[in-house]
A and B are shown apart, each in its own frame.
Chain A
Amino acid sequence: MSNIFLSPQVIVLLFVTLSLAVVLTFAAFKTVQLIKNYKPNAVTQEQYTLEKSSYLITTIIQVSLFINIFLLALFTHTLNSLSDIIPGAMCAAGVVSSNAFGNPLIVLKVVIILCSLLWLRINKEDFITKGHPYFKRKYLFFLLIFLLFLIDIFLELNFFAHLSTVEPVMCCSHIYKHTQNSFSLSNSSLVTLFYTLYLLLLLTLTLNKRLLSAAFSLLFLYISYLAITYFFSTYIYELPTHRCPYCILSSDYAYIGYFIYTSLILASYYALSFALFVQKTELRAKALIWYTLFVFIVSAKFIYFLIVNHTTL
Chain B
Amino acid sequence: MIELQDLCKTFESQNGEHFTALHNITLHINAGEMVQFQGVSGSGKSTLLHILASLLKPTSGRVEIAGENIASYSDYYASLYRRDTVAYITQSFHLLGELTLRENLLPPLVIKELSFKEINAATRKALEIANIAHKADEKVANLSGGEKQRAVIARAIVNDADIILCDEPTANLDKANALKFLEIIKELKRKGKTIVIATHDPLFDDLDIIDKRFMLKEGHLE
Contact = CB atoms under 8 A, between A and B. Distances in A.
Q: When A and B assemble into the complex, do they touch directly, with CB atoms less than 8 Å apart?
A: yes
Interface of A: 41, 43, 45, 48, 51-52, 55, 127-128, 130, 132
Contact of B76 (A41, A43, A52, A127): A127
Q: How large is the interface on B (under 10, 10 to 19, 20 to 34, 35 or more residues)?
A: 10 to 19
Interface string B53-88: 000011110000000000110111100000000000
B19 to A, nearest CB: 14
B72 A51 contact: no
A130 B78 CA distance: 11
A127 B72 CA distance: 15
Q: Give the top 10 A-B pairs by smallest Cβ distance, nearest first.
A: A48-B57, A43-B72, A43-B71, A127-B76, A41-B72, A130-B77, A51-B75, A51-B74, A132-B74, A128-B76
A58 to B, nearest CB: 11
B109 to A, nearest CB: 21
A130 B72 CA distance: 10
B16 to A, nearest CB: 13
A62 to B, nearest CB: 14
Contacts of A130: 74, 77
Contacts of B71: 43
Contacts of A43: 57-58, 60, 71-72
Contacts of A48: 57
A188 B103 CA distance: 65
B59 A45 contact: yes
Contact of B75 (A41, A45, A55): A55
A55 B58 CA distance: 20
Contacts of A132: 74
Q: Report which residue of A43, A52, A127 has the largest number of chain B beta carbons within 10 angstroms of its beta carbon.
A: A43
Contacts of B12: 45
Contacts of A127: 76
A46 to B, nearest CB: 11
A124 to B, nearest CB: 11
Nearest to B80: A128
Contacts of A55: 75
A151 B99 CA distance: 50
B85 to A, nearest CB: 15
Given A41-B72, A130-B74, 5 more contacts: A43-B57, A48-B57, A127-B76, A128-B76, A132-B74
A40 to B, nearest CB: 10
19 contacts: A41-B72, A43-B57, A43-B58, A43-B60, A43-B71, A43-B72, A45-B12, A45-B57, A45-B59, A48-B57, A51-B74, A51-B75, A52-B75, A55-B75, A127-B76, A128-B76, A130-B74, A130-B77, A132-B74
A127 B76 CA distance: 8
A48 B55 CA distance: 12
Contacts of B77: 130
A204 to B, nearest CB: 34
Contacts of A128: 76
Contacts of B59: 45
Contacts of B60: 43
Nearest to A127: B76
A153 to B, nearest CB: 33
B116 to A, nearest CB: 26
A300 to B, nearest CB: 37
A48 B71 CA distance: 10
A222 B77 CA distance: 42
Contacts of A51: 74-75
A304 to B, nearest CB: 43
Pick from B58, B71, B74 the residue with the most CB of A within 10 Å.
B74
Contacts of B58: 43
B114 to A, nearest CB: 19
Contacts of B57: 43, 45, 48
A200 B142 CA distance: 68
A132 B71 CA distance: 15
**Residue from the set B60, B71, B75 with the largest chain A CB neighbour count within 10 Å:** B75
A41 B77 CA distance: 13
Nearest to A135: B74
Contacts of B76: 127-128
B159 to A, nearest CB: 19
A288 to B, nearest CB: 26
Contacts of B74: 51, 130, 132
Contacts of A52: 75
Nearest to B10: A45
Nearest to A130: B77
A51 B72 CA distance: 11
A51 B76 CA distance: 11
A129 B182 CA distance: 40
